[in-house]
Amino acid sequence: MAGLRLCEPTELYNILNQYARLCRLAEPNYLCLLDARTQREFDESHIITARKIEQSPTGEYLVPDLEELECVRYCVVYDGETSSLDFCDNEKEESEKGASASSEIENAETSSLYSLNAEEGTAVRYGRDLEQFTRHPVLILTGGYRRFTACYHFLRTQKLFWMPQELDNLKPYPVEILPAKLYMGNFKQACDPKILKDLKIKAQVNISKQPTALFAEDKLLHISVADSPDADLFSHFSTICHFVDAQINYGAVLVFSNLGISRSSTVIMAYLMHSSQFTLKEAWEYVRKCKTNMRPNRGFVKQLSDWETRIYGITITDISEPNY
């Protein structure tokens, strides 16, 4: 079995906003997002591209197409507000107690537990049914629909069906590096007023050759650097880190480059090494989880290694390894 694991709202947000040439939600085997709430709640609003879990006439939840589950990269289930996998373990434990004929009191307590947690445990119970069919762990959204939409209200919808062309044309948001604090994106996203408003961006770091318009009271740091192995980003790391440090407590900061793949990811890793005491390896793995196709050029990788050496006094990460 692939198993279950909790999925923080930030992780689902980043899954929804991955893109290469087009939004990855258009890929048929990329994401299976399942809503385990009631039909009424689903009809009122749900997370973008989610499907309502189908039920049999007797009320039993049905498993989606097995071929799809076997191939899908991410299978995410959410209900109203589940925040723990412990419910499933409690349910199993209480069931075993009831079977042991210990007392009617224990059975009454078990019934009470089911009643109090019926909605909250739906995603976990359904995830247990799915895990035997998936190649990767089934993800249970921490805090469910309530917590996710409190953070990302702009990713909820009433739309039930999505045509392939509609998914192709979806505009992804910048990926979230530090929840509600730091984002990484591309030039086009940085010029979209709706994205800046939705994410409450108050400052931007532009790591591209092109200048960009400044919106409202936003603060902008423009470091004009080409995406070339010979380009120098290292000498700007301190300036960028100090700028982000100064702005991040007043609102979200967006770091962007032309495509949001090489220069911006380099700067983000340099900042994480500076602010979170990450090694280069730790920063690399962290940013790659946020944006799966991030890829600094070789010159920038060497500069990140030099930055690690400056911070720690020694070189910790071996950049000759294939990952880099």
Q: How confident is the model at residue 101 (pLDDT cuts 50, 70, 90)?
A: very low
User: What pLDDT is attached to residue 87?
Assistant: 57
Q: How many residues does the chain have?
A: 324
pLDDT tops 80 at residue 179? yes
* Residue 43, CA distances (Å) to 53, 231, 258, 264 in order: 12, 52, 38, 39
91 neighbors 125 (Cβ within 8 angstroms): yes
In degrees and rounded to multiples of 5, residue 123 shows phi and psi of -65, -40
pLDDT tens-digit series, residues 85-96: 875 544 444 444
The mean pLDDT of the chain is 87
Rounded (5°) CA angle 27-30-35: 115
Query: DSSP characters for 128-160?
Result: HHHTTT-SSPEEEETTHHHHHHHH-GGGEE---
Q: How many CB atoms lie under 10 A from the CB of residue 162?
A: 15
CB 270 within 8 A of CB 307: yes
Nearest to 167 by CA among 68, 64, 48: 48
pLDDT digits (tens, 9 = 90+) for 216-226: 556 999 999 99
Nearest of 172, 173, 168, 171 to residue 183 by alpha carbon: 173
Residue 236 CA neighbour count, 13 Å, CB half: 20
Q: Which one, of 31, 65, 66, 61, lies nearest residue 47 by Cα?
A: 31
pLDDT of residue 119: 57
Q: What is the pLDDT of residues 18-70, one digit of tens each?
A: 998 889 999 989 999 999 999 999 999 999 999 999 877 877 778 887 777 88
pLDDT over 70, % of the chain: 87
CB 74 within 8 A of CB 136: yes
Over range 210-219, report the average pLDDT. 70
The pTM assigned to this predicted structure is 0.88
299 or 91, higher pLDDT: 299
Closest CA to 17 of 283, 296, 290: 290
In this model, does residue 116 exceed pLDDT 90? no
Helix pair 144-151, 9-16: axis angle to 10 deg:
70
Strands annotated E in 70-127: 74-78
pLDDT value of residue 309:
97
Q: What is the pLDDT of residues 130-150, one digit of tens each?
A: 998 899 999 999 999 999 999
When mean pLDDT is compared across 25-34, 65-74, 106-115, 180-189, the lowest value belongs to 106-115
Element at 176 (helix H, strand E):
strand 175-178
User: Dihedral through CA 191, CA 195, CA 199, CA 200, nearest 10?
Assistant: 60
Instruction: Give the least confident one: 75-79, 165-169, 257-261.
Output: 165-169
pLDDT level of residue 172 (50, 70, 90 thresholds): very high
Q: Largest Cα–Cα distance of the chain, in whole Å?
A: 76
4-168 and 175-312, same CATH topology? no
What is 175-312's CATH number?
3.90.190.10
Architecture of the domain delimited by 4-168: 3-Layer(aba) Sandwich (3.40)
Domain boundaries of the chain, sorted by first residue: 4-168, 175-312
State pLDDT tens for residues 230-267: 999 999 999 999 999 999 989 999 999 999 999 999 99
d(CA 263, CA 257): 6
**Does residue 214 surpass a pLDDT of 90?**
no
pLDDT of residue 188: 94
In the prediction, which pLDDT does 215 show?
A: 58
